[in-house]
Structure 1
Amino acid sequence: MLQSKHSEAFLAVAETGSFELAAARLNITASAVTLRLQTLEKQLGQVLIIRERPCKVTQSGQEVLLFLQHHRLMEQNLIQNLQGQRSNSQFFKLNIASNADSLATWLLSSIQKTLIQEKIIIDLKIDDQSQTHHLLEAGLVNACISTESIPMKGCEATLLGKMSYRMVATPQFIQHYFQHGIHRNALRNTPTVIFNDKDHVHIQTIQQIYGLTANMYPCHFIPSSTAFVEAILLNLGYGMVPDLQVKKELANGKLVEIMPEARLELELYWHHWKQQSIQLECLTKTLIEQTQSLLN
């Protein structure tokens, strides 16, 4: 019953207090505003506006006004959630899910120019690379970086490249814990550094090579990529880290690879809905271009 053009006319008169100002807002004539308002009042069986100078809203009109203003706000919020832009802002908001290692190494530097040029602000959700696509599936993000290669229905997945990981420790740590080599019994009594309980990269690697599950050796859980590496450098444990994050430390000898057989390459995919906003299309194009050299 509340047809949009009739409701818009009522809102314009109620908010401006004048049929002439309402007509200017809607870019129509004052007589057209009058006709639309009369039609709405006839449909509702109530007088909504007292024709005075300025116009006043009746008690019934107040109820309709509050409803329409609330409906308008809900519509604006919906558009913001779907398109990422508020009517009073020049910036577009995108919700992105990423693994912590990508964020700590290459992600922000890769998309910096596009974020600035396209006036994009991002809300980053951090999770394990094997779990981020669930956030997309739940509708909590617009796109994600994931190790999952198969896109869900309505989405596309593009290979970004590979991140290489290796198991490292400091020379001092190796001298203290691995004087007689690295073997199953030694690892049982050697502390390791793990990102969190979703860090399947480390846990599965040790289990595959040495048959040890996570409850069979001491673990530090440090859910920060930078603090994670710092903990290893402070001799708190050994750990699996991306090459991109410790190139300098490996080159100057502060860190040493201790298990060449544990080297791992993880393929990363960019998942997004097939129907994208222009801003997300730009971000997608940038990521694919930048990672061709960074992750290959």
Structure 2
Amino acid sequence: MLNSKQCDAFLAVAETGSFDLAAERLCITASAVTMRVQSLEKSLGHLLIVRERPCRPTQAGLSLLHYLQHSRLLEQNLMQNLTGKSAESAFYQINIATNADSLATWLLPLLKQNLIENKIVLQFQVDDQSHTHHLLEAGLVNACLTTEPKPMKGCIAAYLGKMHYRFVATPQFKQQWFKQGVNRETLRLAPALIYNEKDFMHTGFIQQKFGLNPTQYPHFFIPCSTAFVDATVMGLGYSWLPDYQANQYLQSGKLIEVSEDLSIDLALYWHHWKQQSAQLEQLTQLLTQKAQELLN
């Protein structure tokens, strides 16, 4: 096993090029640094440092230097993942999985002030709301927005509210494709807008309500929230849009709600580990207190 104090002394000398500067970095005497490096060299059976001005590592020393620097980086990454903060940054990083519609509409405006005041940066992973909890389960994120109400072991789930989706299209699109109403036959002909192949809210609803799977009707995949709205407004197809995105176009008349009976309420839950950092706890409290006011 490598001795940590000896390795720290070697690393300091190799990076500063001086036993004196290494001593200042480690807050010990230069003679103590020399003794630790010599002990490490003896235990490994190799000369590690060429005593010149500046000092430089030997070939064996370079191998050890690369190993120690890599180990230090791995440790920094581990601490970043576990605590959300690295020693080199004043900001805390939190990894969150969310559905695209929440990210494009209400989520960031709700969190903005808290993120600025508490120096928090968020790394988002976007997936369908029915899949985001798998990212939490895999340990890839610290928390997630999901439609799954039941928390997995070691986690807590909090109900946030419902996003209301309206079945919308342009007036011209409705006149062309849904003149006879929305039914199984008209849906087999009308082009649909779907976010991606994981958009089970759309495909699952049509499957359940009308018995049609995506192979039985024409559809576009548009995996971008803003382009998805634009495609609906330009009349490429019908879609389900959340109120946050649809309201301005409904009010202007660019879009109409084709059928109120086909609206969807999507319940959202905030899942996080029981043990969480103080920064994530702040975001959790903010979401659980304010999200329902926005969503409902």
Shorter-chain TM band: 0.7 to 0.9
Stretch moving more, 264-273 or 279-288? 279-288
Q: Within the alignment, does 1:289 sit opposite 2:292 as a pair?
A: no
Scaled by the length of structure 1, what TM-score is found?
A: 0.88
CA distance in 2, matches of 1:204, 1:56: 65
Q: What is the aligned partner in structure 2 of residue 64 from structure 1? A: 64
Indicate how the Cα distance of structure 1 residues 183 and 48 shifts in structure 2: closer, same or farther if over 3 A, else same: closer
Q: What is the aligned partner in structure 2 of residue 280 from structure 1? A: 280
Q: Within the alignment, does 1:98 sit opposite 2:95 as a pair?
A: no
State the aligned residue count.
296
- C-alpha RMSD over aligned residues: 2.5
Matched to 1:66, the amino acid is H
Q: What are the within-5 Å matches in structure 2 for residues 111-122 of structure 1?
A: 111-122=111-122
CA-CA distance at 1:282 after TM superposition: 2.7
1:205–1:262 contact (8 Å) kept in structure 2: no
Q: What is the aligned partner in structure 1 of residue 167 from structure 2? A: 167
1:99–1:146 contact (8 Å) kept in structure 2: yes
Q: What is the aligned partner in structure 1 of residue 248 from structure 2? A: 248
Q: What are the within-5 Å matches in structure 2 for residues 103-142 of structure 1?
A: 103-142=103-142
1:169–1:238 contact (8 Å) kept in structure 2: yes
CA distance in 1, matches of 2:229, 2:57: 65
Structure 1 residues not aligned, in runs of 5+: none
Indicate how the Cα distance of structure 1 residues 47 and 181 shifts in structure 2: closer, same or farther if over 3 A, else same: closer
- Tell me, what secondary structure is at the counterpart of 1:88? coil
Q: What is the aligned partner in structure 2 of residue 186 from structure 1? A: 186
Stretch moving more, 247-256 or 109-118? 247-256
- Tell me, what secondary structure is at the counterpart of 1:249? helix
CA-CA distance at 1:291 after TM superposition: 0.6
Matched to 1:191, the amino acid is P
CA distance in 2, matches of 1:141, 1:113: 22
Please give the per-residue CA displacement for 1:37-72, whole angstroms capped at 9, x wherever unaligned: 343334334444455665554554343333323322
Q: Within the alignment, does 1:213 sit opposite 2:213 as a pair?
A: yes
Structure 2 residues not aligned, in runs of 5+: none
Matched to 1:197, the amino acid is E
Q: What is the aligned partner in structure 1 of residue 33 from structure 2? A: 33
Identity of aligned residues (%): 59
CA distance in 2, matches of 1:48, 1:283: 49
Q: What is the aligned partner in structure 2 of residue 158 from structure 1? A: 158
CA-CA distance at 1:127 after TM superposition: 1.1
